[in-house]
Structure 1
C-alpha cells in the first residue's frame, strides 16, 4: 500500500485527513478498504454481529462518540474479524485485550483502552454516514490508514 503521506501528496484535498489522536493496536499498521459503519454508544452488539459477516477486505468504522467508558471491541471480536476477511477496524472509542489484538493480522486504530465490557443490547445503527474528527465516513468510500494517520475519500 502507498503511504498516506504519499497519497495525500498525490491527491491533496480529494482526501479527508482524520485529525484525531488514534493509537495503533492491531498487528497490521497499514491497511485500506471500503468503509462499513456502526454508530453505537457503549454497546458493541452491532460491532460483533457485523464483524462476524464476510468483510471482503472492508474497514469497519465505529463511532462510539469518543467514549472511553467501555470497550467496543475485544480479542474475540477481533479474531472473528480476521476469520471473516476484514482489513481493519477504526474505533472512535476504546478497545480491550490490546496485547492479544496486537498479535492479530488486523488493522486496529482506536482512541484508547478500557477493560470494562460494553452493553449488548444492539442499540445503534449500521451503515449510517458518520462524522467525527472533521471527516465524513460514507459506506463504500475508501479508507487508507498507516502509522501517519487516516485518509478517507470525499
Structure 2
C-alpha cells in the first residue's frame, strides 16, 4: 500500500482534515496509515506501553501528549512492541527518544521532537476518546494517513 497524502488530498478534496505541519518523521516507514486508536496522556507513558502490547491490526496509535517537550512518551522498546504487535504507526503530540534505533524499525513514528528523558509511570490517562491537536480531531475508528508531506484524517478508509 503506497500512501501519498498529496494524492489523497487531490482525490478527496474537501473531505479530509489536514493536520497543521508540526511533525517530524522518525520511524523506518516514511509513509503509513490505518485506523485510529487514541490515547490522551501527559508525561506518563504507561498507557502507551499497554496499547502497543496489544494487537495493532495495522492501526495507528495517536497519542495526545499535550505537546509536552519535557520527556519522551515513546522509546525504542515501545516502538519495538509496536512492530512486533502489528501497529502501522504512532503519532505523538509530544516527544520520543531513541530516535536512531526507531529509524531502523518497520513502523511509522511521527512526533514533535526528541527528548532523552523518560516519562513517569503512574498509569494516568485516557484511551479511546476523540483527541484534538494540530487543528484536527482524531476519532477512534476513523483513519489517518501520514507521509513526507503531512498528516490527513478521513472518516473512512481511503485505501
1:58-79 deviation per Cα after TM superposition (whole angstroms, max 9, x unaligned): 0000000111101000000000
Q: Does 1:120 align with 2:132?
A: no
Q: Does 1:108 align with 2:109?
A: yes
Separation (CA, whole Å) in 2 of partners of 1:107 and 1:64: 17
> Secondary structure in 2 aligned to 1:14?
coil
Partner residue in 1 for 2:73: 72
Partner residue in 2 for 1:23: 24
Separation (CA, whole Å) in 1 of partners of 2:87 and 2:11: 26
Separation (CA, whole Å) in 1 of partners of 2:125 and 2:85: 22
Partner residue in 2 for 1:92: 93
Q: TM-score, normalised on structure 2?
A: 0.95
Cα offset for 1:13?
1.8
Cα offset for 1:12?
1.4
Q: Which runs of 5+ in 2 are unaligned?
A: none
Cα offset for 1:151?
0.4
> Secondary structure in 2 aligned to 1:47?
helix
Cα offset for 1:2?
3.7
Cα offset for 1:8?
0.2
What value does the CA root-mean-square deviation take over the aligned residues?
A: 0.7
Partner residue in 1 for 2:50: 49
Separation (CA, whole Å) in 1 of partners of 2:118 and 2:106: 23
Separation (CA, whole Å) in 2 of partners of 1:76 and 1:114: 15
Q: Which runs of 4+ in 1 moved over 2 A?
A: none
Partner residue in 1 for 2:12: 11
Q: TM-score, normalised on structure 1?
A: 0.98
